A and B are shown apart, each in its own frame.
Chain A
Amino acid sequence: MISASQRLWRTSPLTYVALVLAALLSIYPFYYMLVIGSRSLDSINDVPPPLTPGNAFGDNFGRVLDNDAANFLTGMMNSIIVSSVVTLSVVLTGSLAGFAFAKLRFRGSNALLLAIIVTMMIPTQMGLIPLWGMMQDLRWYDTLYAVTVPFLVSAFGVFMMRQYASQAISDELIEAGRVDGASTFRIYWSIVLPALRPAAGVLGLLTFMETWNSFIWPYAILTPENPTLQVSLSFLSYAYYTDYSQVFAATAIGTIPLVIVFLVFGRQIIGGIMEGAVKS
């Protein structure tokens, strides 16, 4: 005889059908990117539309590299630089501030933490127009400073690290460091930071993905000569919107790094998102 809970939680075949369908719909556009990106230009307008990959990916990607309007390689390079710098900084500043809020006592800490949480709710697009003007004044228009410096810190990062630090690090551990005569920074560097590694990993992955994919601000402040990857893709698709096999080869190449990161670290990323949801 099966118990009530077993009866309740068993899974019917229909559940699997629905889930497989949802998974296929989720993955199909990736596949479609590869299909069109690997087809020759004249075969993509066939009726019925092509459903399997071809063998022209190399040719198509070659045309991407030759395309002066998009500066694809510059975009790729810029995206790698910007995303790495932002990720490193968000993790370091986030863990430093999160440690301070979770484990150190100082005047005004509650009010300051509240201020950070409030800023998480304000949409960043609000400041776009003056920020654009500020970048002109700083002579940062069309430079990587403009797309890096404003994003070196993240309210979400501080908050997430604080949550993790307050439960993952015991006060005794900090006390022991103090008794041994370590400075606060030394305690952070050799005790706290290593203990925060799992949360730092998730924060780093999420930040990297977000920065890699950000669009509106780089689009506003960078020119086609010096784009990030997303801006490069957009210009590629405007200027050559009939050459879909070229555009899709570029889109696929620009997406593959993230898909690989996700396939390797997906479990942690999903765990991080779900944990964040329950706590907030």
Chain B
Amino acid sequence: MSLSATTAPPSPAAPPSPDLPSRQRRGRLLNHLDVKYSPYLYIAPFFLIFGAFGLYPMVRTAWMSLHDWDMIGEHSFIGFDNYTRLFSDEYFWNALVNTFGIFALSTIPQLLLALFLANLLNRTFLRAKTFFRMAIFMPNVVSVAAVAIVFGMLFQREFGLFNWLLGLVGVDPVDWDGQRWSSWFAISSMVNWRWTGYNTLILLAGMQAIPKDLYEAAEIDGAGPWRQFWQITLPMLKPTFTFVVILSTIGGMQLFTEPLLFANGNILGGSQREFQTLAMYMYEMGISNLNTAGYGAAVAWAIFMIIVVVSLFNFLLVRRSAK
């Protein structure tokens, strides 16, 4: 029995089952399709959703800006009229000046302070490093809305902490949201408080990437801390610093929540538009007033252009000055 079994020729009646090759073929085909095309499936969600809700609205903003566009009814093509209108629109210029004023008051002290703090945190033998890093970054965790509400109270005219402190040194109470410079100052302080720590961490990361032996060599050559900071840290930090400057530019040009809440929700930004920013003006024209949506879209594109120009200008400035 066992003999016959071992000597029996392979039974001709049992050829490889007929569906096996086709299954194998199908398997190989599926595998081929999987390797070749499935990557597109994996990146598809990003492109579909971003295309529909990110890219398309942006292109449509451009299209709308060439029209006299009413969100509820009519729209007629008017070419670049919305853009030429910007030049003679005093509210637009007012918003532009406000935005740049607040931008300067927040970005410059903020970056200097961040540079200073990052330099302190970059000490090798610093104790409680993690504690300091976390504490300084904490403000970025709170929502802008909460920051604006808390600072709004601190800057209150009658009972605010800042006016009380000023009173201690004999200065009259300031009507913080009643004048241009004071409202700019108040809004900038919210931005500074919220973003200094974030920028400190980014700059610190850049500093830690600088090779330590550069400093040791400089030390041996007799260069003091200041010289090392100017001649090693700053030049080597240039790429990171540029990154931070551009990030602040994009944020600063789009400032919206702080001034809006500082004005208790008034989109005009104070009774005389003392602190209406470009983003608020865009919102006023494009969303608060539905019948001027086309003009609001032109403001949106103007903001974008301004961001590009200012970023480019800052980029060149940083590159040149840190040479």
Contacts and interface: CB of A to CB of B under 8 A. Distances in A.
Interface of A: 4-11, 15-16, 18-19, 22-23, 25-27, 29-30, 32-33, 36, 44-49, 93-94, 96-97, 99-101, 104-106, 109, 112, 116, 119, 121-134, 136, 149-150, 152-153, 155, 158, 183-185, 188, 209, 212-213, 215-216, 220, 229-230, 233-235, 237-238, 241, 244, 247-248, 251, 254-255, 258-259, 262-263, 266-267, 269-270, 273-275, 277-278, 280
Contact of B143 (A30, A128, A129, A254): A254
Interface in B137-165: 137-139, 141-147, 149-154, 158-161, 164
B212 interface: yes
Contact of B149 (A22, A134, A233): A233
A15 B58 contact: no
A274 B204 contact: yes
Contacts of A188: 42
Contact of B123 (A10, A132, A155, A234): A10
A26 B135 contact: yes
5 contacts: A101-B43, A106-B37, A237-B261, A274-B208, A278-B205
A68 B35 CA distance: 56
Nearest to B151: A29
B253 to A, nearest CB: 8
Contacts of A94: 46
Contacts of A127: 53-54, 56-58, 60-61, 300
Given A4-B219, A251-B146, 9 more contacts: A33-B146, A47-B159, A96-B43, A112-B47, A121-B250, A124-B54, A150-B49, A213-B143, A213-B144
A126 B296 CA distance: 10
Q: Is the interface of B mostly helix, strand, loop or mixed?
A: helix
A72 to B, nearest CB: 13
Interface in B170-214: 193, 197-198, 201-202, 204-206, 208-209, 212
Given A100-B42, A104-B39, A129-B61, A275 B71 contact: no
B159 A152 contact: no
Contacts of A36: 153
Given A22-B117, A152-B45, A215 B257 contact: yes
Given A259-B141, A267-B130, A4 B216 contact: yes
A277 B58 contact: no
Which of A18, A99, A209, A274 neighbours the largest number of chain B CB atoms within 10 Å of its CB? A274
A181 to B, nearest CB: 8
Interface stretch (B1-9, B78-86, B281-289): B281-289
B205 to A, nearest CB: 4
B300 A126 contact: yes
A278 B209 CA distance: 8
Given A49-B161, A130-B57, A5 B212 contact: yes
A40 to B, nearest CB: 14
A155 B50 contact: yes
B145 A131 contact: no
Contact of B153 (A109, A128, A248, A266): A248
Given A23-B136, A280-B243, A97 B265 contact: no
Contacts of B146: 33, 230, 233, 251, 254-255
Interface stretch (B10-18, B99-107, B301-309): B301-309
Contacts of A130: 56-57, 60-61, 64, 297
Which of A8, A26, A184, A220 neighbours the largest number of chain B CB atoms within 10 Å of its CB? A26
B274 to A, nearest CB: 18
A216 to B, nearest CB: 5
Contacts of A254: 143, 146
A49 B58 contact: no
Which of A46, A93, A153, A183 neighbours the largest number of chain B CB atoms within 10 Å of its CB? A153
Nearest to B133: A270
B150 A9 contact: no
Given A27-B138, A125-B282, A238-B264, A215 B300 contact: no
B98 to A, nearest CB: 17
Contacts of A247: 149
